[in-house]
Amino acid sequence: MNCKHLPSLVAILFSGMMSCVNKPQTASISLDNLIPKPASVKASGEVFELTTASSIFVEGQDQDVLRVGQFLADVLKPATGFALKVVNSGETPAPGNILLALKADTSLREEGYELSVTRDHVKLTAYKPAGLFRGVQTIRQLLPAEIEMPDIQHISWQIAGSTIRDYPLYSLRGGMLDVARHFFGVEDVKRYLDLLAFYKMNLLHLHLSDDQGWRIEIKSWPNLTAQGGSTEVGGGKGGFYTQDQYKDIVKYAADRFITIIPEIDMPGHTNAALASYPELNCNDTATKLYTGTEVGFSTLCTKKEITYKFIDDVFGELAAITPGPYLHIGGDESHATKKEDYIPFVTRVQEIVKKHGKLAIGWDEIALTKLQPNTIAQFWADSANSKEAVRQGARIMMSPANKAYLDMQYDSTSRLGLHWAAYIEVDSAYIWNPATLVQGIGYNNIFGIEAPLWTETISKMDDIEYMVFPRLPGYAEIGWSPVAGRGWDEYKIRLGNHGRRMKSLGIDFYRSKLVPWVE
Ligand code: NGO
């Protein structure tokens, strides 16, 4: 191995790298390519090398910490081939090992962490297990990109010496997956959760019902899935999650410190329910199943009492299997509902959500009604609605369609996606600031940021990955990293270097010409 063959972007920041002359194969290790960019990074000038003799020491008896240790061992195994032991002994680890520990530093809050990498050790500390989990993602990204390969790579597993102190800017950051227009099975959702977790995101909103499909088993209304779940856009066979499958998704997410927000869209976007139960229609006649992509034509019958019994049953069952504090009530594009019906309807639905011990989130139109304290409005299209929500004391989930919709095409040649809100190239997706986008909605009004992926044109996992990558890392960074010290010109270099990492993860991402890809 000759050092001069290292790519120029490979950061040989430290004298310790002089030893690369004797290494089996060098590692492209760098402190410069982390996404999201940490709050603070200092190079130590040393290099740690992970070997087959390394172990992961876990301090204390916290089961979640042990689990994070095991997660790290599991993600490092395929590419290294090392069966790293997770040791819970209380002894100080000898040189060459990794240590995970909680510490009483409340300033790190829920998800912050500190990472110290020297020649002798990798020491990760956090106030909470979630912080350790986020820090584990940093350890992954500090290793060579080959660490994400599914099979053994014969390279040396070096980590750049550093001290990192890191925590998120916004406390909720994530994505939305529309499983109603096209259905995606449990394995696809788990893969999506893995990819969100890799970029330190902590929320997945599942759009579980729409005109084209009902995707969650409701035991007291079985026809919702039997009939309403039986198709999808284009007329495919659709599908749904049983409650056990949903619980499995929730658990998988929780193991990654990700909260699931389930959405039942209403009063519009309800054709699948209306086709399943005649009594939900004002004329007592079930509609036909719908497999097209129009919006705004369906509505629950807001004047019937059975409608509220239905919502109470659905949210009751959903609340019981959703440990997270939020239920999403939709509320968008209810063009078939008169405004004078929409307002009392949404007011009453918020009360039902509250009765089940949850907080309501709805698309920004819900601000037309009186919002319950702690209801969250999701800004997607109408800044006036969102400002009205703020005026009522609500907080805003930022999902501006022209910046954060993952179903928008990159440009006019994109093979998938829509463009009603904008073409969103990778630079445009990155260059915006949630706290200054809408006048009157500032940092303190913002509850979180979420990038929705609607699936009218998207029917398989490969398509999801093509639309989501490489924009998702940018949203992750906007949500996590301080605004100062980052910008498109330097971000695109870091993103380019993630090309190799995304490839190792098996992601077939869109190779935007705006990014200098290193693969
Ligand atoms: C809109 C609409 C969805 C579409 C999506 C397509 C919202 C909140 N409602 O966003 O039904 O699928 O656009 O981009």
- Ligand 1 site, residue 405, Cβ cutoff 6 A: yes
Does the pLDDT value for residue 370 go beyond 80?
yes
Q: Which of 265, 332, 457 is the pocket-test mutation for ligand 1 (most atoms within 8 Å of CB)?
A: 332
| Residue 197 pLDDT | 98
**Rounded to whole angstroms, how far apart are CA atoms 429 and 476?**
11
Residues sharing a CB contact under 8 Å with residue 22, sequence separation 6 or more, in sequence order: none
**Rounded to whole angstroms, how far apart are CA atoms 257 and 203?**
8
pLDDT 10s digits, 167-201: 999 999 999 999 999 999 999 999 999 999 999 99
| Residue 2 pLDDT | 34
Taken as a whole, the chain contains a residue count of 519
Band the pLDDT of 44: cuts 50, 70, 90. Answer: confident
Which tokens hold the place of 60?
């204390």
| Residue 6 pLDDT | 33
How many angstroms is it from 293 CA to the middle of ligand 1? 10
Q: Which atom of ligand 1 is nearest to the CA of 178?
A: 12
How many angstroms is it from 350 CA to the middle of ligand 1? 21
Over range 454-469, report the average pLDDT. Answer: 98
Q: Which atom of ligand 1 is nearest to the CA of 333?
A: 9
Does the pLDDT value for residue 27 go beyond 60?
no
- Ligand 1 site, residue 380, Cβ cutoff 6 A: yes
Q: Comparing 90 with 113, which gets the higher pLDDT? A: 113
- Ligand 1 site, residue 379, Cβ cutoff 6 A: no
| Residue 30 pLDDT | 77
Does the pLDDT value for residue 9 go beyond 80?
no
Mean pLDDT for the chain? 94
Q: Whose CA is nearest to atom 8 of ligand 1?
A: 332
- CA separation (Å) from 437 to 271, 432, 468, 479? 34, 7, 22, 14
Q: Whose CA is nearest to atom 12 of ligand 1?
A: 454
Sheet containing 113-117: give its strands across: 40-50, 157-166, 113-117, 121-126, 97-102, 55-58, 85-87
Q: Comparing 3 with 479, which gets the higher pLDDT? A: 479
- Ligand 1 site, residue 475, Cβ cutoff 6 A: no
| Residue 29 pLDDT | 64
How many angstroms is it from 91 CA to the middle of ligand 1? 54
Q: Whose CA is nearest to atom 13 of ligand 1?
A: 454
How many angstroms is it from 212 CA to the middle of ligand 1? 13
Does the pLDDT value for residue 132 go beyond 90?
yes
Q: Which of 264, 403, 454, 456 is the pocket-test mutation for ligand 1 (most atoms within 8 Å of CB)?
A: 454
Q: What percent of the chain has pLDDT over 90?
A: 92
Band the pLDDT of 28: cuts 50, 70, 90. Answer: low
Q: Whose CA is nearest to atom 4 of ligand 1?
A: 454
How many angstroms is it from 457 CA to the middle of ligand 1? 12
Tell whether pTM > 0.75: yes
489 exposed, middle or buried (CB, 10 Å; 0-12, 13-18, 19+)?
A: exposed
Q: Whose CA is nearest to atom 10 of ligand 1?
A: 380
How many angstroms is it from 209 CA to the middle of ligand 1? 13
**Rounded to whole angstroms, how far apart are CA atoms 274 and 265?**
12
Over range 437-449, report the average pLDDT. Answer: 97
Q: Whose CA is nearest to atom 6 of ligand 1?
A: 454
Contact 516, 493 (CB under 8 A): yes
CA nearest neighbour of 315 among 358, 277, 272, 346:
358
Encoded amino acid at 279, one letter: E
Q: How many CB atoms lie within 10 A of CB 384?
A: 11
Does the pLDDT value for residue 24 go beyond 90?
no
Over range 433-441, report the average pLDDT. Answer: 97
**Rounded to whole angstroms, how far apart are CA atoms 344 and 197?**
39
Q: Which atom of ligand 1 is nearest to the CA of 408?
A: 14
| Residues taking part in catalysis | 333
Q: How many CB atoms lie within 10 A of CB 117?
A: 26
Over range 216-231, report the average pLDDT. Answer: 98
- CA separation (Å) from 110 to 58, 63, 169, 350, 518? 19, 16, 12, 28, 34
How many angstroms is it from 453 CA to the middle of ligand 1? 9
- Ligand 1 site, residue 363, Cβ cutoff 6 A: yes
Does the pLDDT value for residue 49 go beyond 80?
yes
| Residue 5 pLDDT | 33
